[in-house]
Chains A and B, each alone.
Chain A
Amino acid sequence: MRTKSIAIWSAVAIVGAVAWGVIALVRGESISAAWLIAAAVCSYAIAYRFYARFIQYRVLGADRNRATPAERLDNDRDFQPTDRRVLFGHHFAAIAGAGPLVGPVLAAQMGYLPGTIWIIVGVIFAGAVQDMVVLFFSMRRDGKSLGQMARDEIGPVGGVAALVAVLSIMVILLAVLALVVVNALANSPWGTFSIAMTIPIALFMGFYLRVIRPGRVLETSLIGVVLLLIVIAAGGWVQDSSLADAFTLEPETLVFCLIAYGFVASVLPVWMLLAPRDYLSTFMKIGTIVLLAIGILVTLPVMENEAVTKFASNGEGPVFAGSLFPFVFITIACGALSGFHSLIASGTTPKLIEKETQVRFIGYGAMLMESFVAVMAIIAASIIDPGIYFAVNSPAGVTGGTVETASQFVNGLGFAITPDALQAAATAVEEESIISKTGGAPTFALGVSEIFAGVTNGGKAFWYHFAIMFEALFILTTVDAGTRVGRFMLQDTLGNVYKPFRQVSWKPGVWLCSAIIVGAWGYFLYVGVTDPLGGINQLFPLFGIANQLLAAIALTLCTVLLIKHGKLKWAWVTGIPLAWDAVVTLTASYQKVFSADPKLGFFAQRDRFQDAIAAGEVLPPAKNLDDMNAVVTNSTVDGVLAAFFALLIIVVILDATRICIKAIRSREPLPTSEVPAQESKLEAPDGLLDRKPELVA
């Protein structure tokens, strides 16, 4: 290293260390959100420069002179060398979703400190490592999927477990995300109108792109974004007009709307709805994230939340039950480590990458960006008054739904807030009420509107609905795309039994499989919306567990492959995050299944309500016997799922251990499905700032 670079990196390290010191040590007075940003950015920079580089060259042995599948199999379709910056954009758009916005908001109930530490440390040592290593191994296998690699490299048991895990996480994920949308839109004519209008807008864009101006994506997207901004503004007008009643929908009604939408959207041709929606939501997503980062830097908001609340240790928080370990890690999920990303990293990206040495930029780098989004989400949730935060995020069963009862409840938690302040917060964003708008989106939107209104000097209501729209828009795109992916997997599986299922054009198969997938997430969505104990409270931990389970499978596969490739001494790189992830996920599942505390353990909860039914009592927050029975059924289903997820992890890890022992004992390296090396003739730089040999534009 040259002197200049030593000086720069020392400065980065010092700034980062000071920022961490301020976040961790200052107590009793509020700190600026800028410290969180500084700590995050400096940590990312150091991790990217040193740790990711070490993994890329020393651990993985990425080779600039070895041809990637994109070069060897280039067919101008699925295999195609793609500029690293363009591929970074695609990869980031595919991995970024609502998860890093929702999880950190919920985790803020324990204060901003635990969440922030895990988002940053977790991504550096676990999340980004997983994404990058999976991408690398899949690239060395012509872009094989996670499931295929698990089958080839671990065995049929690992393969089946991976497939089952992917399908179940998909269902829970779609249900939880749809639940976030329902909770954000319930009884909000403004939000419902704006979101409903995205459907005709997308249809128009689809038609425009197909018939009028084929392929002019940018122009079409621009029209779409302008129309979108118009309908967000128009929502305020609709809210005050006679149309308001038509768009004021109960949660149950919204559930059926979403289920119907999910089914229709997933069987319509891609060009009609999904593709235009995808463009729209991607541009909105990137645009809003960039604006938010600028907004935070311009307004430098102050953290209102406590660094660590008492719920971190006593585990009695109203947003979700359980104490800091393991539930903060389960709740943050995607912002630090997301199993779901392993599906993207073993999907299209490895087939498009130009150079092996780009996995650091694309795999590790994109995940750092995602983590940065999560840091911004925890900031957004922490700059609003904690009293408002708890009134918004506690289930209706405990807040009672009115400003008076909610204020009473929140004061009881130890956070002062008056009914007037709660009403004022709702009025400021022109909503009827913000009490028990659980699911994270409304809280995030409140934080965002605070920041943006600080920049534009007002317009809080517009920005609130802008943020709601932004989140709902790409959740709906995820619902549509996710249903399709689930359907494909189901079609593929059923195709083993009855061949025509595999054909994309066989309509009965398409409809049936779509209906099954929509029915599955629709069930959990309905249950979540009607659950007397609060759907997010009950389902979000399951979603987190399922996601971390998938991460465990991906990290297991990576560790097995490192050992099989004779890199036992580097196996800790994925082995340590795997061990941590397995401990977190198994502890969470164990507590969810076996805890004797009815607030935490699903079966303890079930027994408590079952006993009460037998004694003829109705326990609050249930209002009648039907509610009581609903709690019993839901707790049973959720408990069985938690146990099932834990079992899957154990099976995969045991099966993988068997292979690892075999690999270590064997004199010859075990066979792997890695494609033999071929020399690369392509010239391309590695990182973002490296010069490209030929002119770019």
Chain B
Amino acid sequence: MTVRDVFTGVRWYLREVSGESAYDRYVEHRRRDHPDEPVLSRRAFERARQDEREARPQARCC
């Protein structure tokens, strides 16, 4: 394992955990499964994703 691998791994992990990579996954998914349909812009996608949290509050523990 090189330093580069570690860096890539950490970056991958942080992007996944923080949800930063959600949009990339969404775009990939749309291209693959619905190639003819339009893809949301990042702004619109993130907005919808944030507003969705409104309806599903996630408890934080004690």
Contact = CB atoms under 8 A, between A and B. Distances in A.
Interface of A: 76-78, 83, 85-86, 89-90, 94-99, 173, 177, 209-210, 214-218, 221, 269-271, 275, 278-279, 333-334, 338, 340-341, 343-344, 347-348, 474, 477-478, 481-482, 484-485, 487-488, 504, 543, 547, 696-697
Contact of B47 (A210, A333, A338, A477): A210
Contact of A97 (B42, B51, B55, B60): B60
A77 B52 contact: yes
Contacts of B15: 218
9 contacts: A76-B26, A83-B16, A95-B61, A99-B61, A210-B46, A269-B54, A478-B60, A481-B57, A481-B59
Contacts of A218: 14-15, 18, 20
Main secondary structure of the interface of B (DSSP, over half): helix
A338 B62 contact: yes
A83 to B, nearest CB: 6
A349 to B, nearest CB: 10
A214 B18 contact: no
Contacts of A485: 57-59
Interface string B15-50: 111111011001001000000000000110111011
A484 B50 CA distance: 15
Contacts of A343: 59, 61
B53 to A, nearest CB: 5
A217 B20 contact: yes
B57 A86 contact: no
A271 B55 contact: no
Contact of B62 (A99, A210, A696): A99
Contacts of B16: 83, 86
Contacts of A333: 62
Given A89-B17, A217-B20, A697-B12, A338 B60 contact: no
B47 A547 contact: no
A474 B57 contact: no
Contacts of A177: 62
A348 B58 CA distance: 8
Contacts of A270: 50-51, 53-54, 57
A254 to B, nearest CB: 20
A474 B9 contact: no
A217 B42 CA distance: 13
Nearest to A170: B59
A482 B50 CA distance: 18
Given A214-B46, A217-B19, 6 more contacts: A77-B52, A86-B16, A95-B61, A210-B47, A275-B53, A481-B57
- Residue with the greatest number of chain B CB neighbours at <10 A, chosen from A94, A218, A269, A344: A218
Contacts of B45: 214-215
A86 B13 contact: yes
B50 A347 contact: no
A172 B12 CA distance: 39
B14 A78 contact: no
A215 B46 contact: yes
A-B pairs with lowest CB-CB distance, top 4 = A99-B62, A214-B46, A484-B57, A217-B18
B2 interface: no
B41 to A, nearest CB: 9
B29 A76 contact: yes
Nearest to B26: A76
Nearest to B55: A504
A173 B61 CA distance: 9
A697 B9 contact: yes
Contacts of B13: 85-86, 89
Contacts of B46: 209-210, 214-215
Contact of B60 (A76, A275, A477): A477
B1 to A, nearest CB: 12
A148 to B, nearest CB: 15
B52 to A, nearest CB: 7
A478 B18 contact: no
A484 B29 CA distance: 32
Contacts of B55: 504
Nearest to B25: A76
Contact of B61 (A94, A210, A543): A94
Given A270-B54, A271-B50, A697-B8, A94 B60 contact: yes
Contact of B18 (A221, A269, A344): A221
A338 B61 contact: yes
Contacts of B17: 86, 89-90
B62 A547 contact: yes
A338 B53 CA distance: 25
Contacts of A215: 19-20, 22-23, 42, 45-46, 49
